[in-house]
Amino acid sequence: MKPLCQVGTASCGACCGLYNRDELSRPAVHALLVRRTRALAAAPRTEEGFRAAAASLRDAGATPLFPSVRVCPLLGYLDEAEARVGCLAHPLVTGGPDLRDCGAYDARICGSFFCPSHSWLSEDEADLVADVCGGNPYLYGLVVTDVPFLRAALGGVAELTGARVERRHLDAPPFRLALARLLALKEELAPGSDGLFGAFRAGADGEPLPRAIDYGALGREGASPYDALLATVGADPRSGNDLEALEAEVRSRLEACAAALDPDFIIRELDTC
């Protein structure tokens, strides 16, 4: 199974409850992680010490968006640069004792859980998202857990250029930047948007439910040419996002990717004007 949780400079804390809070802006999540990291650095590395620290941190947490999904107070920053999130109770972090039993689950569950992205993402997709979002754990966690969004984003670029996006394309800094900006759509959605947690909506068979925009209800005759991506980010009033505004953003970010990847793209676009 391909690694996703900690790979290269990329790290994820989604299943430890990182985004399960009513205030989930990047600054709010960062502040929470800093508070936890400092508190646990000062706590004795014993069961008693970590249980006491976890209890005080739990009380200070925000209201969960999904009450049935646990939020673990032992998730924090692993490095001084605050560029990597991870489990502060893991033996590799404590330097000895495994203190994960003091968190929201227990060491056995923590060590054996792999989210569905582990089986859905291809090696290439996993490498690509880790490479683009590495060093930005807030964005990486949102993207790596949302396979339909990632595929729609990469598919949208491929549709414009006629070529599949590959990891080697990231060697070109302008394309890397443009793709990072496209994926950053996930950070900019309205709170509560379908697009934020789409990957968490599973059908009875455990597979993700398709997301769809009701264009008729919005007074639009046909689907947007960017429907695949718009549907995954919840470009629909029910999600709190404005379809027209999001469509313009999607178009501009996809075209920036295409132009950075394929210099002939701009010439072809001009020819069709």
What are the start-end ranges of the E strands in 9-141?
A: 10-11, 75-77, 85-87
Residue 16 makes contact with ligand SF4 by CB under 6 A:
yes
Within 8 A by CB and 6+ apart from 272, the residues are: none
Residue 71 makes contact with ligand SF4 by CB under 6 A:
no
Residue 33 makes contact with ligand SF4 by CB under 6 A:
no
Contact 74, 54 (CB under 8 A): yes
Q: DSSP class of residue 76?
A: E
d(C-alpha 162, C-alpha 147), whole Å: 21
Residue 14 makes contact with ligand SF4 by CB under 6 A:
yes
- Among 38, 60, 66, 114, which residue sits at the site for ligand SF4 (rule: CB under 6 A)? 114
85: β partners: 77
For the bound state, the minimum distance from the C-beta of residue 82 to ligand SF4, rounded and expressed in Å, comes to 16
Contact 86, 13 (CB under 8 A): yes
Span near ligand SF4 by CB under 6 A; candidates 32-40, 97-105, 180-188, 214-222: 97-105
For the bound state, the minimum distance from the C-beta of residue 224 to ligand SF4, rounded and expressed in Å, comes to 30
- Among 104, 128, 157, 160, which residue sits at the site for ligand SF4 (rule: CB under 6 A)? 104
Query: Which CB atom, from 68 or from 272, has the smaller least distance to ligand SF4?
Result: 68
d(C-alpha 125, C-alpha 145), whole Å: 12
Binding mask 134-173 for ligand SF4 (x = CB under 6 A): -------x--xx----------------------------
Residue 89 makes contact with ligand SF4 by CB under 6 A:
yes
Question: How far is Cα of residue 5 from the mean position of the Cα atoms in its chain?
Answer: 11
Query: Which CB atom, from 86 or from 156, has the smaller least distance to ligand SF4?
Result: 86
Residue 196 makes contact with ligand SF4 by CB under 6 A:
no
Residue 228 makes contact with ligand SF4 by CB under 6 A:
no
Residue 185 makes contact with ligand SF4 by CB under 6 A:
no
**E strand or H helix that includes residue 85:** strand 85-87
Closest among 34, 36, 28, 37 to 65, alpha carbons compared: 28
d(C-alpha 164, C-alpha 172), whole Å: 15
Query: Which CB atom, from 15 or from 153, has the smaller least distance to ligand SF4?
Result: 15
For the bound state, the minimum distance from the C-beta of residue 197 to ligand SF4, rounded and expressed in Å, comes to 12
- Among 33, 43, 53, 75, which residue sits at the site for ligand SF4 (rule: CB under 6 A)? 75
For the bound state, the minimum distance from the C-beta of residue 196 to ligand SF4, rounded and expressed in Å, comes to 14
Structure tokens at 160: 């414009």
Largest CA distance in the chain: 70
d(C-alpha 127, C-alpha 116), whole Å: 16
- Among 57, 72, 78, 256, which residue sits at the site for ligand SF4 (rule: CB under 6 A)? 72
Contact 232, 148 (CB under 8 A): yes
**E strand or H helix that includes residue 77:** strand 75-77
Residue 208 makes contact with ligand SF4 by CB under 6 A:
no
The residues binding ligand SF4 (CB under 6 A) are 4-5, 12-16, 72, 74-75, 87, 89, 100, 103-105, 110, 113-115, 117, 141, 144-145
